[in-house]
Amino acid sequence: MHKKNLMALPLALLLGACGGSGSGTADSPARTTYALQLVTLQEDSLANTQAEQCQVYYQTGNDTYYYASRVNDPSVALYNADGTQAKTLSVSDTGLVVVYADEIPEGGNLAITSTAQSQAFTEYNVLALDASLLGTLTLSVASSQKDGACLTGSYQQEGISSGYATLTLDDSFTSAPAIYRFDNGHDSFTSAKSVDVPLTTYGDQPVLVTAYGQYDADSGQASNMVGYAFVAADALCERTGCAASQVLAPLSQRPAIAFYNQGATDSAELRLNDTQGDYHWQTLTPADSDFSYTDALAEANWYAKAQGQYQGWALSRQQHLSNPEAGVDVDLLGSLNLTDADPSLSGDCGQNQYGCVLLEGADASAFGYQRTLVSAYSSSGKSYLSLQVLGQAKDSTPLPQVQSAAGAVLLSRDDLLAGSVTVSLVAADSALAKSAFLQHQLGSNLASQPFYYGTVLSPLASQEAQASVLASGSSLVVSRQ
C-alpha cells in the first residue's frame, strides 16, 4: 500500500478556511459554498487500510477493499445552460474544489474532466452535476495519480462466525422440505427432518433460513414456503452433530398475491427489514397465488422488489408494504406511460447549440433524477469522450461543450451527435429521492468497474446504513440505451 503519512487537512477544516456557509461581516455577507473532494479509488486488503487509517468505500471478493486517495489532475469548470463555459475553477494540491453557489449558472452545471493519454489515443472522462446535487461531496474520478494521501476513516468488518447449525422440524410438519434456502445465497437439499448445514454469520445479524415444500431444478425456483428460522452466531458449532437444534417455525398465514403487468414482470422478491438487518424472504413469480407469512414478523418493515422489461425499458420497482397480512400487490408499471422509443442525441436544443439528450419514450415529470451517459468518438478515431450528466430528470438534457484546460473543445458537435446515449431515471418517496438516486448511481458504477469515473462516494459503513433506510421506502428505476 502507498505511504500516506503526509496527510492533507481534513475537509471540514478546509471548509472553515474558505468560509463554508458561515457568518460574514456587515460589509461582506456570507456566501454559500460547496466543497468537492476529488479522489481516485485504489484496492488493498482490509488489514492494510485499517493500518493506514484509510476510509473504505467499496468491497469485492473476500478481502479486496477500495480506499480513496486524493488527486488534483482533473480540470473543473462551470458551464452555462447553452453549453458554453462560464468559469474555470481551481483544484488545490490536495484535490479540493471550492464552489460558490451564486456563481453556478442557472440551468447549467459543473463539469469535472479527467484525461487519459496514450501514444495513439486520448480518452476524456467527464462528470457533470447540476446545482441540485452539489454539496460537500467526495467524487471518484479517473486519474493517473496513485500516491496521494488517502481520506482517513475506519471501517471495521463485522465479526465473522462460521460453523454448523442443526435444523429440525417439529410434529407440525408432515414431511421434510424439498430445499432449505439461506439468506446468504446458499441452498441445501435434503429429505430428512433434521439436517446439519454449514453457515457463516456477520456480527450480530443472524442468517435467515427458509424451507420450501417444492423445488423446480430446471428453473431453480422454490415454492410453497413451509417454515423459517433465524440462526445466530451463538447457535453455531465447530462440527456437525454438536449444535443445539434450531426448530423451524411453521407459517401461520397465506395472504394473497396479486400480480399486475405479468407480461412485463420477470421476477419479484418479498423482503423484510427489522432491527437486525435486511432479509430476502421469498421469491415470487406471476404463477404464485399466495405467499407464506408469519405473525411473529408482523412488526418488521416489508417490501416487494420487482423487475422486468416493458416497451424496451428495463424496470426495477421497490414497493413498501404497510400491512402485508392483507396481501401483496406486485405492480411493476404503476401509472407509468412508457413507449418504445430510444433516448436520442439532438442538435435542436433551444439556446444550447452544442447538443442535448431527448428523453423520448418516458415523461420526465414522473421521475426525480436522471443519469445520462453519452459516449462518442472523434471522426479521426484518436479521441473518445465519455460524458456522464447527473441531475434532475428532464425531457431535454443540455450537454456542456466541455473544454480542455487549454480552452480547446474536446469533441466537435458533429462527432458528439454521432455518439450513443443511455439514460437511467429514478423516482422515490420525496424524503428519500436524492439518497435513492445517489445510491443507485454508486451501485451501478462500482458494480461494473470499481475504478469507474464520476461516482459520488460514501463510506461503506454509510452505504450499509443507507440501504436499511431506503428499505422503508418505495422507489423506481427505469433505464434504456
pLDDT band of 4, cuts 50, 70, 90: very low
Q: Is the entire prediction scored with pTM above 0.85?
A: yes
Name, in order, each residue with C-beta under 8 angstroms of 463's C-beta and a sequence gap of 6 or more: 439, 442
pLDDT over 70 percentage in the chain: 92
Lowest mean pLDDT among 12-16, 286-290, 342-346: 12-16
Which phi-psi region, left, alpha or beta, contains residue 113 (left: φ > 0; alpha: ψ -120 to 50)? beta
pLDDT at 185: 66
Selected residue with higher pLDDT from 121 and 357: 357
Average pLDDT for residues 136-153, to the nearest whole number? 92
Do 366 and 336 meet the contact criterion of CB atoms below 8 Å apart? yes
Tell me which range, 143-147, 250-254, 276-280, 333-337, is most confidently predicted by mean pLDDT: 333-337
Average pLDDT for residues 388-393, to the nearest whole number? 97
Q: pLDDT for 353-389, tens place per residue?
A: 899 999 999 999 999 999 999 999 999 989 999 999 9
In degrees rounded to 5, what are phi and psi of residue 265? -85, 115
- DSSP letter, residue 181: E
Q: Grid coordinates in use for 249?
A: 417455525
pLDDT at 291: 86
Selected residue with higher pLDDT from 77 and 325: 77
Do 479 and 424 meet the contact criterion of CB atoms below 8 Å apart? yes
Lowest mean pLDDT among 30-34, 75-79, 210-214, 420-424: 210-214
Average pLDDT for residues 94-117, to the nearest whole number? 95
Angle ∠(199,200,203) on CA atoms, nearest 5? 140
* Distance between CA atoms of residues 423 and 193, nearest Å: 50
Strand partners, 89: 76
* Distance between CA atoms of residues 345 and 415, nearest Å: 11
* Distance between CA atoms of residues 478 and 370, nearest Å: 10
Taking each helix axis from N to C end, the angle separating 433-448 and 460-470, rounded to the nearest 10 degrees, works out to 130
Average pLDDT for residues 387-400, to the nearest whole number? 96
Would you say how long the chain is, in residues?
Answer: 481
pLDDT over 90 percentage in the chain: 53
Q: Which amino acid is at 311?
A: Q
In degrees rounded to 5, what are phi and psi of residue 450? -55, -20
pLDDT band of 3, cuts 50, 70, 90: very low
Do 306 and 332 meet the contact criterion of CB atoms below 8 Å apart? yes
Q: Grid coordinates in use for 343?
A: 433516448
In degrees rounded to 5, what are phi and psi of residue 69? -110, 145
Lowest mean pLDDT among 12-16, 300-304, 388-392: 12-16
pLDDT band of 292, cuts 50, 70, 90: confident
pLDDT at 16: 41
* Distance between CA atoms of residues 146 and 190, nearest Å: 51
- DSSP letter, residue 175: S
Please name the residue that has the C-alpha cell 467524487. 139
Strand partners, 180: 188, 211
| Whether the predicted pLDDT of 172 surpasses 50 | yes
In degrees rounded to 5, what are phi and psi of residue 79? -125, 145
Mean of per-residue pLDDT scores for the chain? 87
* Distance between CA atoms of residues 280 and 278, nearest Å: 7
pLDDT at 228: 93
Q: pLDDT for 404-463, tens place per residue?
A: 888 899 999 999 999 999 999 999 998 899 999 999 999 888 887 766 788 999 998 888
